[in-house]
Structure 1
């Protein structure tokens, strides 16, 4: 399966992804943007064994669908839940959160930010690379996607 090429201008047509689980499973990158709309953004993530998404707070809402693997979800620094494949977690804007891979396989996630959180063609090889680019202001969403 070929990964969809991310749009870098406002979308003019629908994007159909027949099997998001398969697409997400075939990406070996920590973070990869697949689609950026004016009001949302679709991203897939692969968190290595023993890795994490990193404790963070967004100014946007985030919906995460867990394709494979197991994780511990930590919200507000204290609330902890164990999740696995098929789990859907919604993180409202302003909520401190982290997802830690607790299983023997990569944690594969499909996530939607509303509105967009990342540059339209973002691909991060690792958490560290993503954090460095974000801190340097090189991973901001396009102005047309800031609802």
Structure 2
């Protein structure tokens, strides 16, 4: 089957990996993330891609170009290309979310069980199909 069809809420709430790429097309990528209390994604800038986050469980803060906003379950975040950003779990439970990159950021199939496992694995043109 081409495309991706599944219950994103169930997948996100059941994810314990820091990063897990679920689906990659030529123009979009769907990624699950889980941040432990006190953990963050790390400050970053994507000069050529937009990013969407959807918080399923937990609470935290997003910093976009120096502006800090509190986030919690059921909130959405859009980070435009070129914006410096970081998402941090400021709560006492795991912050679970999914992210959509356009275009893709990571190699398809990437799984980082913890933040310590993160390596530079940028999109190499291979998709889920």
Aligned to 2:21: 33
Alpha-carbon separation, structure 2, partners of 1:122 and 1:90: 22
- Is the radius of gyration larger for structure 1 or structure 2? 1
Aligned to 1:84: 72
- How far residue 75 of structure 1 moved from its aligned partner, in angstroms, is 1.2
- How far residue 143 of structure 1 moved from its aligned partner, in angstroms, is 2.1
Is residue 2:84 matched to residue 1:102?
no
Aligned length: 126
Task: Determine which structure has the larger helix proportion and give its number.
Answer: 1
Task: Determine which structure has the larger strand proportion and give its number.
Answer: 2
SS in 1 for 2:106: coil
Q: Deviations over 1:48-102 (max 9, x none)?
A: 11111111111311000000100111111x2110011111100011110001101
TM-score with structure 1 length normalisation? Answer: 0.81
| Structure 2: segments with no counterpart, 5+ residues | none
Match of 1:73 among 62, 68, 77: 62
Alpha-carbon separation, structure 1, partners of 2:73 and 2:85: 19
Q: Which runs of 4+ in 1 moved over 3 A?
A: none
Alpha-carbon separation, structure 2, partners of 1:45 and 1:27: 7
Aligned to 2:124: 142
SS in 1 for 2:92: coil
- How far residue 24 of structure 1 moved from its aligned partner, in angstroms, is 1.1
TM-score with structure 2 length normalisation? Answer: 0.92
User: Cα RMSD over matched residues?
Assistant: 1.3
